[in-house]
Amino acid sequence: MTLEGLTRQTRPPCEILIVDNGPTQATSAAVCRFSQKLPIRLVVEPRRGYGAARNRGLAEAAGELVYFLDDDCVPEPDWAEILWRAAASGEADLIGGSRINGQNGLAARLEYLSTDGPTLAPALARNAARHLSTSNLILRREVAVRTGTFSESLVMCEDRDFTVRARRLGFRLLFEPAARVHHYPPVRSFRNYLGKMRHYGFGTSQYFLRWRKEEPLARLFPVSPAARLALLPALAAAGAGYLVARNLPHRPDAILLSPLLLAGQLWWHWGGFEAMREERRNHC
């Protein structure tokens, strides 16, 4: 679906790199199927992880403006053009767009309310941003040259880490909600949702530990694994309340789904506890 979306762009891409660091025959087949429609090239990266894949993409890309798009996101036809115009205008150096939940089902809805809804909803205002997501992003090559590579030690949030470092160097970040992609995460059951929350909690807590002075929310989470575990119910309740508040008024169903969001937050903070425990072990 991602490649099909790229064939419909009002501003066709000059180069498309598919970085595959979990190679499957399905990926190769998809590249072959679209090779006559798109300027596409498959790059196999042996190192696993989001950071390794994004670093390989940056190393292989030839353009002065580089787009990032995840393989579970389908861009709307004007996606590339809107991002390009914002970059070409000179008003920002990194521009990120919004995400719309495209996956059916309750679990995917919960995942959206817990992740994209509060920060990447199309209804949010166009504004300067503190950090951006590489699921929907354009940046100048100069940004990558000066900022350096994506972190390969973070389980996730490597894009958030990268864009924060870019902002601290003086580069301007802009959220452009009109550049929309439809997100189809592989979340089809409540168990999938809880597993995702645990993974997000682990990776985000790693990131928060690194940027504790930069991120206001990070200061609310204890570094001590024991304290994190003891406060887990209270942190989860606060997290669920935060999600409901951030999703309103655009997503009023967050109120009705708040008990399920609370369950997700329990697993999110369990992942955070595991991250702090691993960090403690690594420094013993």
DSSP labels, 13-68: -S-EEEEESS--HHHHHHHHHHTTTS-EEEEE--S-SHHHHHHHHHHH---SEEEE
189 within domain boundaries: no
Give the bridge partners for 66, in sequence order: 139
Identify whether residues 48 and 179 lie together within a single domain: yes
Sign of CA pseudo-dihedral 201, 202, 203, 206: positive
What pLDDT was estimated at residue 28? 85
What pLDDT was estimated at residue 120? 95
How many domains would you assign to the chain? 2
| CA contacts within 13 A on the Cβ side of 225 | 13
Identify whether residues 16 and 102 lie together within a single domain: yes
What pLDDT was estimated at residue 262? 98
Identify whether residues 97 and 8 lie together within a single domain: yes
188 within domain boundaries: no
**Omega before 225 within 30 of 0, i.e. cis:** no
190 within domain boundaries: no
Other CB atoms within a 10 A radius of the CB of residue 144 amount to 20
pLDDT tens series, the chain, 284 aa: 899 999 999 999 899 999 988 767 778 888 889 988 999 999 988 888 899 999 999 999 988 999 999 999 999 999 999 999 999 999 999 999 999 999 999 999 999 999 999 999 999 999 999 999 999 999 999 999 999 999 999 999 999 999 999 999 999 999 999 999 999 999 999 999 999 999 999 999 999 999 998 888 888 899 999 999 999 999 999 999 999 999 998 899 999 999 999 999 999 999 999 999 999 888 76
Q: What is the rounded distance in angstroms from the CA atom of residue 158 to the CA atom of residue 183?
A: 19
Identify whether residues 168 and 93 lie together within a single domain: yes
Choosing from 183, 211, 236, the residue where a domain stops is 183
Q: What is the rounded distance in angstroms from the CA atom of residue 167 to the CA atom of residue 151?
A: 16
Provide the angle, in degrees to the nearest 10, between the axes of the packed helices 258-282 and 106-114. Answer: 60
Domain span at 82: 2-183
Identify whether residues 127 and 251 lie together within a single domain: no
27 within domain boundaries: yes
Q: What is the rounded distance in angstroms from the CA atom of residue 13 to the CA atom of residue 150?
A: 23
